[in-house]
Chain A
Amino acid sequence: MRNSFFSKKLVAVIFLIAGFVSAQNHEGEEVETGAHDLKTEIKEYIDHHLLDSHDFNLFSYTTDEGEHKYVGFPLPVILWDNGLKVFLSSEFEHGEAVAEVDGNYYKLYHNKIYKTDAQGTINYGGHQGEETHEEEAFGEHLVVDDTHPTNEKPLDLSITKNVVFIAAVALLMFLMFRSMAKRYQKSTMPTGLGRFLEPLVLFVRDEIAIPNIGEHKYKRYMSYLLTVFFFVWIINLLGLTPLGVNVTNNIAVTFALAMITYLITTFTGNKNYWKHIFWMPGVPVPMKIILAPIELLGTFIKPFSLMIRLYANITAGHVVLMSIIGLMFIFKNWIGSPLSFLLAFALSLLELLVAALQAYIFTMLSALYFGMAVEEDHH
């Protein structure tokens, strides 16, 4: 009863705000330009927020003279371009300067490193010589940035902001669970941090691993399931902090995680698992032939869905949250801004849930796939 009451209230608030938003949009069309620049700026800011970065920027601002000031610290750039090139990202000066290393020139352009000449010229593919083109979309006149530089891209193994964050989370997890493990040497009852973490560890074991994999075979998968659960959860949670380093909204990160799940599934799969893929028992021979490629494709689709699900959920959450925060600056009136603040607050709470939920789903589905891989023949 209580819950449904609150959810009704929430829906009412959302409709209310949606009403204001549309009202504001009409006004905006009448007034024009000023708000439009702000919208573009917010959009760019959100895009920027979602991307990885070669610097560890805490925040940036623009001085009255129009000069960009960045507060943060540079990170090492590691390139493989006919030999290892290591230098600090401060040499790029946030994409405004060309970095020279061993006679090679590199430029940071849209968060990617390109090899350039000494002047830092970027060559473009599609629209030669133009960085942008204009187009009409959604009834609005937009300036679209669709340039594709054709410059050579060196292999970039830089320690980016996300890599720093992954390492920090890894270190944090190691310290946390190491200290938890050490306490068990003194007594069999959990103490300190273990009191909070043990139920979670047991949750992964009793609610995720054992029901999906089975009583006898779950043990060998526990390390991976626990690590991935806590890694995704903690990194999602920390992504919601004001520091706001999103890691799981990088497809490369979720791809790496999904790939590990795929590899474990493939290498621990038993005879029965492969039989179900290549020669499905209990169906006629023509069907077996048709099913084999489908089943084989399925083994790739499963981890692929894991990758996309985590990536998309976290990205979407951040985009929506930041858009609503951005609305505060677009409204600039006494009713719209507090409402979007409230909505942003509610959404932040929801994102806290999503952070845990996605970690749970990723772990749960991984366990399910492992369970399929080691399932015994029941026929």
Chain B
Amino acid sequence: MEKLLEEFSLGLFVWQLLLFVGLLLLLRKYAWKPILGAVEKREEGIKEALEAAEAAKKEMQNVTADSEKLLKEARAERDALLKEAREIKEGIISEAKEQAQAEGDKIIKQAQATIESEKKAAVADIKAQVANLSIEIAEKVIKEELSDKGKQQKLVESMLSDIKLN
């Protein structure tokens, strides 16, 4: 310890203190601040870039998820639409069938009715013609009667048998 104290050089101490503090102040202004500043700026930049990349990645994932969701929705909608269309189609077809059936029935009914009425008309017509014929026959018979009694008879008989045949 005594040796240490004896060795202690005040001059060296003063110079060391002066030079070191001077160096410290100079380096702080001209070296450490710019160096640490640049390093920090760079690290900040790297951090920001990484964060941006991360955010972009996340957004990308979101977009993918969104598009997938959209696709799914679209697919579901398409399926729904197709299903609906099919139902509508089937509905239309069955309705059309029903309608056709109904229309057909109606037409048939009308046709039957028409036929019936035609038939009735025809029968009426025939009846009227038969009446007319009968009147004509009667007229002719009466006229024949006037000429030949036997023949008149025969005529009436043949005419009557004709009618029967009809």
Query: Which residues of A does B touch, CB under 8 Å?
Result: 51-52, 78, 155-160, 162-163, 166-167, 170, 173-174, 177-178, 180-182, 184-185, 188-189, 198, 201-202, 205, 219, 222-224, 226-227, 231, 250-253, 255-257, 259-260
Contacts and interface: CB of A to CB of B under 8 A. Distances in A.
B88 to A, nearest CB: 68
Interface string B3-47: 010011111111111011111101110111111111101100100
B35 A181 contact: yes
Contacts of B32: 177, 181, 222-223, 226-227
Given A223-B28, A227-B32, 11 more contacts: A170-B19, A170-B22, A180-B35, A181-B34, A181-B35, A184-B35, A227-B20, A227-B24, A252-B10, A252-B13, A260-B20
A219 B40 CA distance: 11
B10 A156 contact: yes
A222 B36 contact: yes
Contacts of B17: 256, 259-260
A200 to B, nearest CB: 11
Nearest to B25: A223
B15 A174 contact: no
B19 A163 contact: yes
B30 A181 contact: yes
Main secondary structure of the interface of B (DSSP, over half): helix
A158 B14 CA distance: 10
Given A163-B15, A252-B8, A189 B42 contact: yes
Nearest to B26: A174
Main secondary structure of the interface of A (DSSP, over half): helix
Contact of A251 (B7, B14, B33, B35): B7
Contacts, number: 122
B39 A158 contact: no
Contact of B11 (A157, A184, A189, A201): A157
A52 B9 contact: yes
In order of increasing CB-CB distance, the 10 nearest A-B pairs are A177-B31, A184-B38, A252-B13, A223-B28, A181-B34, A256-B16, A188-B42, A252-B12, A170-B23, A163-B15
Given A166-B16, A189-B42, A227-B27, A251 B4 contact: yes
A175 to B, nearest CB: 10
A163 B7 CA distance: 15
B35 A156 contact: no
Contacts of B8: 251-252, 255
Contacts of A257: 16, 20
B19 A180 contact: no
B48 to A, nearest CB: 13
Best-buried of B8, B9, B26 by chain A (most CB within 10 Å): B9
A24 to B, nearest CB: 29
